[in-house]
Amino acid sequence: MEFWEKELETLPQDKLTRLQLDRLNLVIQSAVRSPYYRSLFSGNGDLESLRDIREVNGIPFTTKQHLRDHFPYGFLTLPRKELIRLHSSSGTTGNPTVVFHNRHDIDSWSNLMARSLFCAGVRDTDVFQNIVGYGLFTGGLGFQYGIERLGALSIPAGAGNSARQIKLMRDYGTTVIHAIPSYLARLYDVFLAEGVNPRTDTELRMLIIGAEPHTEAQRQRIQEMFGVKAYNSFGLSEMNGPGVAFECEYQNGLHIWEDAFLVEIVDPETLEPVPDGEYGELVMTTLDRQAMPLIRYRTRDITRILPGICPCGRTHRRIDRITGRTDDMFIIKGCNIYPMQVEGILLRVAEVGSDYVIRLETIDDQDEMIVEVEVKKDWFRGDLLFLDQLQKRLTHMIRDEVLVTPRVKLVEPGSIPKGEGKAVRVFDNRQN
């Protein structure tokens, strides 16, 4: 078995816990240099165990709202002169959230990214095409620095323009692609339209997918389209960006890098810890970030710790794929529904195409869930009786899963509009 940083990646659990505690105490001491954390605690006195990191000991959660309220400099522990980069989210609602990095932070993040890529099986002999937005979005530069640290040949392609992406792949013999899953399904359609077969006409040997929620069914589809494995990459800008948790060759959950992040899974309502194996909200503390440490940050992402040891030999625990964000969940007719539950049903059905969208509408004073589903070309041309049966079948399958009867609308492939970024799956147009 090969590793990027063998000693750290295979550190026995007790030593890893010790390392985390030492780092956590340093983080708490340095966090009080920021105006925000200084207003909350003194940083005096070390915690004796990781379990002491609780509200009862005066260490509260940090939320996106706190970041917004103290925008832009309230969480900084260093003078501006020390900073070398910032990344920020779009901030369509209120202040954006911003994270600042000093040289150490960028170095540490690059290393985590190189480690993640190596863990999934990328090597310095690869040609790596990074098909995500560069700029303030962390997926561009985050991957870029990791690819360079690893020593693979990087193609900083950026997002969009599928015909050009295919040309780049063929000109330079791309072996690895990183892209968001909803985009790969579209890229595949362009391959077909151009008469290029990604399995036989390219050198592609693996994919890395992440940055947005997707189901195992979606992953399977993408793997079948391209004829290679697709490894799941998880991160969020508040925790640098990508390089937080990554799948290894076994594709059995994502190793979360516990030397750099302290992980808690809590019940999103009571905020009490849940036992390993149970779903809850992921809460994270940075353990190796200097300019802007974050303590007990509530990610809003729902996942669970997977029990057991991974055969790859890495000791860092694994999280399950993210099933959704607490704020993705919608309530209709008294039922709590995550878009991924609907996706899990749809993408298992062979006739269903690559896109879908959920619209919540008020019709005749009733709230309705309308599920618009693209049907694959060959089937969409099919006879009306067949489409009618497919529509009924999907309606029943979704109802059995989410307990609400949807109005399923079958639409032509390519008719659901898509932006360049992450897919938006739910539109809530309900009155009040």
Site residues for Zn ion per CB under 5 A: 248, 310, 312, 314
Cα(428)–Cα(169) distance, integer angstroms: 38
Q: In the window 264-303, what residues touch ligand ADP (CB under 6 A)?
A: 299, 301
Cα(116)–Cα(244) distance, integer angstroms: 8
**Pattern 136-175, ligand ADP, x by CB under 6 A:** --x-------------------------------------
406 to each of 153, 370, 403, 413, how far by Cα in Å? 47, 6, 9, 20
The window from 20-28, 141-149, 319-327, 397-405 that contacts ligand ADP (CB under 6 A) reads 319-327
Give the burial string for 46-66 (b: 16+ CB within 10 Å, else e): eeeeeeebeeeeebeebebeb
Q: Which does 312 bind (CB under 5 to 8 A by kind): Zn ion, ligand ADP, none?
A: Zn ion
* Six token digits for residue 305: 């710790």
430: Cβ–Cβ under 8 A, 6 or more apart, which residues? 360, 361, 362, 367
Q: Which does 89 bind (CB under 5 to 8 A by kind): Zn ion, ligand ADP, none?
A: ligand ADP
* Smaller CB separation from ligand ADP, 244 or 358: 244
Say whether residue 322 binds ligand ADP (CB under 6 A). Answer: yes
| One-letter identity of residue 336 | N
198 to each of 48, 104, 177, 335, 381, how far by Cα in Å? 54, 39, 12, 41, 25
* Least Cβ distance, residue 211 to ligand ADP (angstroms): 5
* Least Cβ distance, residue 2 to Zn ion (angstroms): 12
* Angle at 34 (CA atoms; ends 30, 36), nearest 5 degrees: 125
Neighbours of 386 (CB within 10 A): 13
The window from 39-47, 205-213, 355-363, 390-398 that contacts ligand ADP (CB under 6 A) reads 205-213
3-class secondary-structure state, position 374: strand
* Least Cβ distance, residue 314 to Zn ion (angstroms): 5
* Smaller CB separation from ligand ADP, 210 or 406: 210
Residue of 226, 224, 231, 164 lying closest to 201 (CA atoms): 226
* Least Cβ distance, residue 291 to ligand ADP (angstroms): 17
Cα(360)–Cα(253) distance, integer angstroms: 32
Q: Which does 205 bind (CB under 5 to 8 A by kind): ligand ADP, Zn ion, none?
A: none
* Smaller CB separation from Zn ion, 152 or 248: 248
Q: Which does 322 bind (CB under 5 to 8 A by kind): Zn ion, ligand ADP, none?
A: ligand ADP
Q: How many residues bind ligand ADP (CB under 6 A)?
A: 18
* Smaller CB separation from Zn ion, 260 or 397: 260
Cα(337)–Cα(323) distance, integer angstroms: 11
Among 148, 212, 216, 368, binds ligand ADP (CB under 6 A): 212
Q: In the window 83-142, what residues touch ligand ADP (CB under 6 A)?
A: 89-90, 138
Say whether residue 234 binds ligand ADP (CB under 6 A). Answer: yes
Neighbours of 189 (CB within 10 A): 17
The window from 208-216, 264-272, 285-293, 376-384 that contacts ligand ADP (CB under 6 A) reads 208-216
Contact positions vs ligand ADP (CB under 6 A): 89-90, 138, 210-213, 232-237, 299, 301, 321-322, 325
